[in-house]
A and B are shown apart, each in its own frame.
Chain A
Amino acid sequence: MKNGKKRSIKAFLRDWDAGRFDLDAAAAEPYSAAPEGESAEGTATPEESLPRRDVKAYRAVYPLLAAMLGAIMIVFLFLAVLDLPAFGKAGNPSENEVVRRYVESGLSETGAVNIVSGVILDYRAFDTLGESHVLFTGLAAVLILLLELDGKKEEPDLGLIRMKADSILGTAARLLIPIIVLFGIYVILNGHLGPGGGFSGGAIIGAGLILYAEAFGYEGLERFLNFRSFRIICLAALWFYSISKCYSFFCGANGLHTVFTTGTPGRILSAGLILPLNIAVGVVVACTMYGLYSLFQRGRI
């Protein structure tokens, strides 16, 4: 930092970014308002010495401000929490005719034993549709940022080779991956009968795919999950969700009978649209999780 006077503001920022700018040393250096020795280069401008001058005051004030801001936030949040009604008390604002309707006639209207599934995929399926699209939009944004179209396919990925050589990871993954994926499928298919559903099951399957990619490389997965099939699977699942729910909403609003019946509650093939919708959401979520990982790791799917 001794030749700091000749440094441009850009170099300073780069140093800062690389973590090589020493705040303590900068604060210890006395600030000179008009740096002498301005030679023919004329590179010394007031903005260079600006960081050094402010560093000292900044370091004195910053912890104080941070603590004060934190204390104010904590006080406001505690006040807000104190204002909340007690959990599960009768007469709470959350206890109204909506909840009563869900609890009393949820089973007969949706056919789902798990009332949460009945709410999120039947009564409020429109919300879940939006959530799936939010996830898809997030993935699209990551695709725009990270997809390398002129793929550097020949460049060897050193991290990948190291991972493939790791026998502990390989053995553990060989034992765990079937169980993880099977459990994810169980959570998806059992969504209307017990805890779980498309989102959690899809996340579990996505985690299994990520573990596979990390342990054995992408070659095996690319056989069935390349960019082309990825797009087809995601769009087909979202289209299926949208179209089937449009049909369901249209029939419901006009008092028509749909082809989807609630069936016998408690059986695996029951609850009308909830099971297929769970599968669609699970497929989208699993693909999205794996796609995000693959894009972050190597810039393509």
Chain B
Amino acid sequence: MDYFELLLLGLLVICGIATCITKNLLSSIVIFMAYSVIMSVIWALLKAPDLAVTEAAVGAGISSILMFLTLKKLRDIRKKAEDEKREEEEH
């Protein structure tokens, strides 16, 4: 049990650092999702099942979905800017 907790805490640190230093934003979000899942297991081990359920639903589920959508919106905006630029160059 103790080793399992240490393993989870180590993974938590690795996920936290990997979230920051990953260049690709999409993988960054997926790693952040993994961070939330590990965190929810740790909450369950710390005898806080209420928090574990909430962390799994909100941290791993909804906030990641919203971040994915934000990424999609950013790409749309970037594509629009590129299209405008191309039109400008054609004229």
Instruction: List the interface of chain A (C-beta within 8 A of B).
Output: 14, 17-19, 114, 116, 187, 194-197, 199-200, 203-204, 206-207, 210, 289, 292-293, 296-297
Show 26 residue pairs from A and B whose CB-CB distance is below 8 angstroms, ordered by the A residue.
A17-B78, A18-B78, A18-B85, A19-B78, A116-B50, A187-B53, A195-B50, A195-B53, A196-B49, A200-B50, A200-B53, A200-B58, A203-B57, A203-B58, A203-B61, A203-B62, A204-B53, A204-B57, A206-B62, A207-B61, A289-B62, A292-B62, A293-B65, A293-B69, A296-B66, A296-B69
Contacts A18-B78, A207-B61 given: A293-B66 contact, CB under 8 Å?
A: yes
Question: Quick one: closest B residue to A196, CB to CB?
Answer: B53
The 8 A CB mask of B48-91 against A (1 = contact, 0 = none) is 01101110011001100110011001000010011001000000
> Is the CB–CB distance between B81 and A18 below 8 Å?
yes
Q: Is the CB of B73 within 8 A of A18?
A: no
- Total interface residues on B, CB under 8 Å, equals 18
B50 touches A207 (CB 8 A): no
Taking CB atoms, residues of chain A closer than 8 Å to B52 are 195
- Determine how close the nearest CB of chain B comes to the CB of A249; give it in whole angstroms: 24
- Residues of B that sit less than 8 Å from A by CB: 49-50, 52-54, 57-58, 61-62, 65-66, 69-70, 73, 78, 81-82, 85
Task: Name the B residues within 8 Å of A200 (CB-CB).
Answer: 50, 53-54, 57-58
A288 to chain B, nearest CB (A): 10
Chain A: CB-nearest residue to B77? A17
